[in-house]
A and B are shown apart, each in its own frame.
Chain A
Amino acid sequence: MTYIIQGTRDDFEVVIGLEVHAQVTSKAKLFSGAATAFGAEPNTQVSLVDAAMPGMLPTINAECIRQGVRTGLALGAEINKFSVFDRKNYFYADLPQGYQISQFKHPIVGEGTITINKKDGTSKDIDVERIHLEQDAGKSMHDQHPQMTYVDLNRSGVALMEIVSKPDMASPEEAGLYVGKLRTILRYIGSCDGNMEQGSMRADVNVSVRRAGEPLGTRCEIKNVNSIRFVRQAIEIEARRQVDIIEDGGHIDQETRLFDPVKGETRSMRSKEEAHDYRYFPDPDLLPVEFDDDFIAAARESLPELPDAKHHRFVSDFGISDYNAGVLVAEKESSDFFEELIAALVDASGKKASAVAAKAANWVMGDLFGALNKAGKTLSDCPVSPAQGAELLGLIEDGTISGRTAKDVFEIMFETGDSAEKIVEEKGLKQVSDTGAIEKIIDDLLVANPAQVQQYRDGKVKMIGFFVGQVMKATGGQANPAIVNQLLKPKLDG
């Protein structure tokens, strides 16, 4: 299914490439020992190196190299055992050195691939061109003072991975899925926390349009888009803008633009209007980064099971649906939760995983996610542990409580953090499965309601619902409905 933008005369395709900047998970900065934690007071996480004091020199953080290599491996990319840091020269208030240390000609990671799974059930490989390591800039605040811009260098020098895709995406959906999948992978391997609200991940989106079959059009780069939703919106809006210009007989200027989600538009960035000449050259304060096969092997060894592999295993080993598997592996926390839940269920019931997984998946994606959503929580602060979830599901499975009661029990669990058994016990929610007791109730009911019995026997079989209701009423809702049905029918039938 091709994404098409309809112009007044022609249909247009959109071509999208992404440069994702992902903050490397590390305690200290790429070239200094200052901390990287989010949210500190301005300029408190700044070393004299980050502030580019005269004579200060960069020294590289080993962890950032390791995480770069792990990320490359996770994308099946080629790892370059020799890479070089270059200086990208430009002036900006939050760029203290007057250059950004980045990698230009010799990045640490070469070509790799990210597979996206589309809604229509198809999948597509998006090629990654390269990953390089670079410094983040500081932060400029333009709205604190009428005449001044304030500069905070806390982020200055924080390690980023720039993950550059090829222009392989053809719709806002694909771009969104690509960013989402990349985020999932980074979070799985722990090389980036993927926290887009805090700026740990942001994307520069390159958009161009063309009539079907024509060569690539002129692209515009939309800078610093900081959510997946905005990536999709920005592409839609920018592609439409370009189509309108072309159809009006205009041409697209290659430029840097800013996405304004409030106004729903992209606009040219004045500060970037001037043509750049970055004058890249190898940073003479640093030497080439070199490592051997053992280093790469150790990095590979440290990788967890990746989302695609996990997805495949959930389908083949657990027998859950492809869709459910996709949802569950999208976040590492949910796949971890699910796996712990399955393990606990298998442990308690002695059944095979495939026998318990489908119901467990439904419960996680339905009850659990629903409750989390409603409470505005995530799995990381979920009050119900996988073991507790397993206990609850076990109680349904062995008939102790009904599925209906389980929903109430879960609600209490979610609120109090108590175990299911404790709640069932304390609230007396145990299902009545004692056939003798239920039989006695049924017998009494048949005697007390002869008219209804007769109606049933006259062929109004729906009346069985009336009797089920009465039994439930008599047992305070705790009678096991399966047993009630099982006992009631022969007695009514006489």
Chain B
Amino acid sequence: MTDLTKLKIAEARDALAKGDLTSLELTEAHIKAVEASSPLNAFIVKTPEIALKNAKAADERIKAGNATAMTGIPVAIKDLFATKGVRTTACSHILDGFVPEYESTVTQNLWDDGAVMLGKLNMDEFAMGSSNETSHYGPVKNPWRAKGSAKGSNADFVPGGSSGGSVTSVAAFTAMGATASDTGGSIRQPAAFTGTFGIKPTYGRCSRYGMVAFASSLDQAGVVTRSVRDGAIMLESVCGFDAKDSTSAQMDVPNFEAALTGDIRGMKIGIPKEYHLDGMPKEIEALWDKGIAWVKDAGAEIIDISLPHTKYALPAYYIIAPAEASSNLARYDGVRYGLRSAPMGASLEDMYEATRAAGFGEEVQRRIMIGTYVLSAGYYDAYYLKAQKVRQLISNDFKTAYQKCDVILTPTAPSAAFAMGEKSDDPLAMYLNDVFTVPASLAGLPGASVPAGLSSDGLPLGLQILGQPWDEANVLKTCGVIEAAAGDLGAPAIWWE
């Protein structure tokens, strides 16, 4: 058989069902690929023993005839998800050595469906970052390299963030799919940077139980795969109501794969004028135009819409997310788990300050301090309350727009992947990466990034589709059409083995 790691989930599922392939074969191929991928630094914990055990169980299950679409499929898990008995640190030094006694609902859903766990994936520390450069375990390298770039053909690019390990493991053919999480674009932006498909469902679709919290009102789990169909299959597995999460939606999960009819005739696709940014690279504008033309050709109706408060989404986000984070991260205090730094004779207060200074990286410290500041006495109304009101306006913008259209089409990110180190000293420049993804996160809407083309130097570019609440089906369907129209974009040359 050909290289098994090149298979897509849907193809592997069919081959497994037919008996042309065993999960064990598939899993062994992936374990090998994971091993060989170390230079990318996507995996921070490898679990080959668990993978093999899962694979054998999956083969039994397939034989017994009660397999699901995910049974026997090797996947990898963003380190934000607690995995029972497997170290979980959210790539923060402060969670050193933490081995949870519990399993996140998202991963439990995958294991219940028979998926195979390859390991834990690198990410920005506590999901705070847009380049996967804030991880305690070092940066992840984008498997794609630029051709004829001024930086030379061996220059390393960031995979985007915070789900940099997730997209990289999938783009580099080391996992068939990966879990990811999106707070302000952490699935969509890295998916765009690596030529993968990434989808974040409606807030409340996936349980947050067992997912290390960054900003609770924004965090939403999702998946990264190498095709829209694979995304639909895996998303269906991870979604579902969970009584353990008070914000989990008590709704049935539709058959997402069934939505991929390829037929978007008559669908109304909104194009928000505010997403035309000054100084946005021409190739991004061109890609967007191409996307509009594709869906139009497929019979959709293009509707010009306005999301007037778009430019305020980022500043509102950088109040709300740090505010929630400053509180969510207060539990990392060196008392019950993780790192403790207590010099001789240290008081409890000394221990707190030393532990948190040593345990949190710079970006996390920065955001905790911003969050603390905007919530502190005298500033709450001016910052936090103001941001919540702006959030309402942004949400209202979408509600108004969705009276005229079914989905919204935009670029995913204002640029292709940038070089490592390029923006790491400029927090604001880094934050601006999420300009197109943050508004939908604030509104809690489903959104996906689908690979749509390559930049002039051969790096992947993505288009973003945003949907109405609970309408992941139309997001997936539209993405499917764009994917087909974009054709084969190729794959990164394997330089890391």
A residues whose Cβ falls under 8 Å from a Cβ of B: 48, 51-60, 87, 89, 91, 93, 96-99, 149, 151, 277, 279-281, 283-287
Contacts and interface: CB of A to CB of B under 8 A. Distances in A.
Identify whether the interface residues of A are mostly helix, strand, loop, or mixed. loop
Contact of B100 (A54, A60, A87): A54
13 contacts: A52-B336, A54-B100, A54-B337, A55-B210, A55-B211, A59-B244, A87-B327, A91-B330, A91-B349, A97-B330, A151-B335, A279-B377, A287-B247
Contacts of B213: 54-55, 285
Tell me what chain B mostly uses at the interface: helix, strand, loop, or mixed: loop
A96 B82 CA distance: 18
B101 A279 contact: no
Contacts of B90: 54
Contacts of B101: 48, 53
Interface in B202-249: 208-213, 215-217, 243-247
A26 to B, nearest CB: 18
Contacts, number: 103
B376 A277 contact: yes
A196 B22 CA distance: 65
B129 to A, nearest CB: 18
Interface of B: 81-82, 88, 90, 95, 98, 100-102, 104, 208-213, 215-217, 243-247, 323-324, 326-327, 329-331, 333, 335-337, 348-349, 352, 372, 375-377, 380, 384
Q: 10 shortest A-B CB distances, which residue pairs?
A: A98-B330, A284-B216, A279-B375, A284-B217, A52-B331, A55-B210, A54-B212, A277-B377, A55-B212, A98-B331
Given A54-B212, A59-B243, A281 B330 contact: no
Nearest to B208: A57
B208 A55 contact: yes
A96 B331 contact: yes
B471 to A, nearest CB: 22
Contacts of A151: 335
A89 B216 contact: no
A57 B206 CA distance: 14
Nearest to A59: B246
Contacts of A87: 327
A91 B352 contact: yes
A163 B384 CA distance: 28
A279 B370 CA distance: 12
Given A54-B82, A55-B104, A55-B212, A286 B246 contact: yes
Q: Which of A96, A98, A279 has the most CB of B within 10 A?
A: A279
Contacts of B375: 89, 279-281
- Residue with the greatest number of chain B CB neighbours at <10 A, chosen from A48, A56, A93, A284: A284
A48 B377 CA distance: 31
Contacts of B247: 284-287
A285 B88 contact: no
Nearest to A55: B210
Contacts of A55: 81-82, 100, 102, 104, 208-213
B327 A98 contact: yes
A48 B243 CA distance: 16
B96 to A, nearest CB: 13
Contacts of A281: 323-324, 327, 375, 380, 384
B335 A96 contact: yes
A285 B216 contact: yes
Contacts of B323: 281
A52 B338 CA distance: 12
Nearest to B213: A55
Contacts of B326: 89, 279
A93 B213 CA distance: 21
Most buried by A among B211, B243, B324: B324
Contacts of A99: 327, 330
Contacts of A98: 327, 329-331, 333
B46 to A, nearest CB: 21
Contacts of A285: 208, 213, 216, 246-247
A335 B381 CA distance: 51
